[in-house]
Structure formats: structure tokens, C-alpha cells
Amino acid sequence: MTESEAKVVLRRFLSAMTRMELDTVRELLHPDHVLEHPQSGEVVRGRDRFVAMLRAVPGGIPADSTEEANARVYGDEDRWAVSPMLTPIRVVGSEGTYTTTVPVRYPDGTVWHLIAIAEIRDGLIHTHAVLGDGILTSRMAGPLRRTDPPGRAAG
């Protein structure tokens, strides 16, 4: 899969998530999909569990909570960002690994900037690790989530 084809998959995923088109979300995920929240150790395994987690959110997730117009997908090209401590950080993606940045608006009106590192396999999103507000999964996953120690995903 070329870089541009992989970026199309990721952009379609972001668009489907923005509109809460869960059938499309499911189609774009690998059957063995894994969602990881490295900061909290939370792991959701399998595309059906991921979609079930989204469906289980009390009151649902409002459509358009993701600011799709401001989302970015980075691939093989060199990109640089600056940390809060003004340290230059190289943002990279290669051989099926891509970085996305997505502003997400919560029901209380606050906006969180999430960073996800996604791996494309067989033309589908196989793994994505989301860095940002770990409470997002805690509120959504309920009994569908599995919490593993940070840095050690369960097998």
C-alpha cells in the first residue's frame, strides 16, 4: 500500500469517527485491531470490541465532536513539532506507520488535542495508540476494556 493510499484510509477513518458512522469505522479496522492508551495502560482488542465501546458510551458520542478540518495525517515526510518546553521533536511515519493529530471537543466544550500513532496492515488500521486524555476510554469502554500495566499489552 502506498503512502497516499494509507493516508486515504486514515482520513476516511477520521471522517467516519467524526460522523459516528460506525459501520464505516468497522470496515476500516483490521479484524485483529488493537487500540492502546499508553498513558493509562488501557487496551481494547478487536474491531468489534472497539465499535461496541463506541456504541456503549452513555448518551452516545455527539457527531462532529472531532474537528476533522483541523486533523492532520503525517507519513514518510519529515515534520517537526515543538514540545511545551520548546524542544524540537521529529514526527515521523514510515512503512505503514503514521501519526495523526486530532482536536476533539468534549461535551463540556473543552477541546483536547489527541495524537494517535497508527499502523496500517493489509490496507486496514491494525493498531493505533492514542496519546491524550485517557479518561476518554475509561468513560466509554466499561467492561469491554482491559487494563494492562503501561508498556505491557496483554497477549
- Average pLDDT of the segment spanning 101-118: 79
- Tell me the C-alpha distance between 89 and 81, whole Å: 5
* pTM metric for this prediction: 0.71
Domains and CATH numbers, the chain: 3-146 (3.10.450.50)
> What confidence score (pLDDT) does residue 24 get?
95
Phi/psi of residue 146, nearest 5 degrees: -125, 130
Say which residue the cell 515521523 belongs to.
Answer: 92
- Tell me the C-alpha distance between 87 and 55, whole Å: 39
Beta bridge partners of 98: 118
Q: What is the pLDDT of residues 30-80, one digit of tens each?
A: 999 999 988 778 899 999 999 998 888 766 666 666 666 666 776 766 566
Q: What is the pLDDT of residues 6-22, one digit of tens each?
A: 888 988 998 888 888 89
Q: What is the pLDDT of residues 124-152, one digit of tens each?
A: 999 998 887 544 544 444 444 444 444 44
> What confidence score (pLDDT) does residue 14 get?
85
126: nearest Cα among 53, 36, 56, 65: 36
Containing 21, the helix (H) or strand (E) segment is none
> What confidence score (pLDDT) does residue 138 get?
47
